[in-house]
Amino acid sequence: MSEERPVHGGRVVDDEVGRVLVSESAIQARIAELGAEIAADYAGERPLLVAVLRGAYIFLADLSRAIDLPVEIDFMAVSSYGNATTSSGVVRILKDLDEDLAGRHVIVVEDIIDSGLTLSYLRRNLANRGAASVEVCALLVREGRQKVDESLRYIGFEIPPDFVVGYGLDVSGRYRNLPYIAEFDGGGGH
């Protein structure tokens, strides 16, 4: 953890970005560990990694390279926020999977778990499509915010309930390209 102002590309990021909560090196080290865990757990299998767009795409790219197995990748886009900053609990699928899930071992790759309502819906939805198993790999879990008791098999980091940006997480499309996770001091929501 750093108390210094976040820097990206040699320049200080604007005043809306607060202190760095998870450094780039910590993220990469944890991804290597998660990749090794997944490779060991799915030895001899070809799991399907399903990234939840848009925030999880950077995490998915790094995670998929850290898994020493032949993985396949697909994408879903869902919305449970609308224009709000907290989940409504009503989930809409905006982009569905291209792959058939029948008999597949699916790992949902999420950027951040907040209430767990969207994740709960996704797990049920994917299991109902005939997946052999549905597990979750989340980069971040907000402490104390889960409304649904979800067993999360792979977790990168637990963070305070602060609003964060970076490493795929944004506010109004900005800050996804930061290589670390930082507090967002300008308000708003994912």
Q: pLDDT tens, 115-161?
A: 788 888 899 999 999 999 999 999 999 887 555 556 788 999 999 98
Letter string b/e over residues 155-188, b meaning 16 or more CB atoms within 10 A of that residue's CB: bbeebeeebbbbbbbbbeebbbebbbbbbbebee
Domain with 101, as residue range(s), is 25-158
Q: Is the pLDDT of residue 47 over 70?
A: yes
Structural domain contains residue 93: yes
Domain membership of residue 63 (yes or no) is yes
Kindly state whether residue 37 falls inside one of the protein's structural domains. Answer: yes
Amino acid letter, 157: F
CATH assignment at residue 95: 3.40.50.2020
Q: What is the mean pLDDT of the segment spanning 4-12?
A: 56
Residues with catalytic roles:
114
C-alpha to C-alpha distances, 150 to 30, 80, 145, 147, nearest whole angstrom: 21, 17, 12, 9
Does residue 123 belong to any structural domain of this protein? yes
Residue 135 inside a domain? The answer is yes
What's the pLDDT score for residue 60?
97
Residue 56, SS3? coil
Predicted model pTM: 0.85
Q: CA 138, CA 82: separation in Å to the nearest integer? A: 22
Does residue 100 lie in a domain region? yes
**10: in domain:** no
Quickly state the pLDDT bin for 3 (edges 50, 70, 90): very low
Domain count, the chain: 1
Q: Is residue 56 part of a domain?
A: yes
> pLDDT at position 86, please?
53
Query: What percent of the chain is modeled with pLDDT above 70?
Result: 83
Give the pLDDT band of residue 8 (cuts 50, 70, 90). low
What is the mean pLDDT of the segment spanning 94-114? Answer: 93
Spatial separation of the C-alpha atoms in residues 114 and 147, rounded to whole Å = 9
Q: What is the pLDDT of residue 2?
A: 43
Q: Report residue 158 as tokens.
A: 């637990």
